[in-house]
Amino acid sequence: MPEASNVSTTRSNQPRKAEKTPHVGPVHVLLRVRSENGETIAAHQQMVALKGTALLGKTGQAIGPAFRDGINKQIADGVRTFLFLTTREGWNGPYVTFRCLLRGVSATVGAGKKGLIPAYYAFDTTDVKTWFELASVERLTRDEMDKIFVLSSGRSIMSSISSSATVFRVGISATRV
């Protein structure tokens, strides 16, 4: 008698595709940014140090309203939610990632918050379509970076970051090494 298999099959005895286990933890955002000599990161770190919060603007296509609303609901529910900023260190160097605790995501900036935008781009925000309000900016270790995975594929962000996408919905795995 043949051994029982844990792989289910179709009527034609062909193996079925494994069903992806749905992600049950918080959803986070990863944004790949260009940062001339780390100035983008440093300017936002400085703003957080001075004012306790900073606004980071994403130009180009906005993140979708459903994604934005979901992130804001998590934050309102008290779930620690992060924006991860990934950039190259130096010209064509390795990728480094920064974890930013989010206070909110919006499509516009109220007049009372314009002072939270770093000076290098505060004068021209017409191309910004999404604003992230940051409460902290801290660099991750390589081990911490390896725990971030893309929700749509389950792949480590480090294996996906060089794709053409600049925004990723990500999760954090406690079990990845």
Amino acid sitting at position 92: N
123 sits in which H/E element: none
Which of 161, 51, 35 has its CA nearest to residue 114? 51
Q: Give the single-character DSSP code of 115.
A: G
Among 19-28, 56-65, 118-127, top mean pLDDT goes to 56-65
Report the pLDDT value the prediction gives residue 123, as an integer from 0 to 100.
80
- Report the chain's mean pLDDT, rounded to a whole number: 83
| pLDDT at 38 > cutoff 90 | no
Of 9-18, 63-72, 161-170, the poorest mean pLDDT is in 9-18
What are the chain's domains? 28-172 (3.10.590)
Question: Mean pLDDT over residues 114-134, rounded?
Answer: 91
Q: Phi first, then psi: give them for residue 43, nearest 5 degrees.
A: -65, -40
- Is the pLDDT reported for residue 16 higher than 90? no
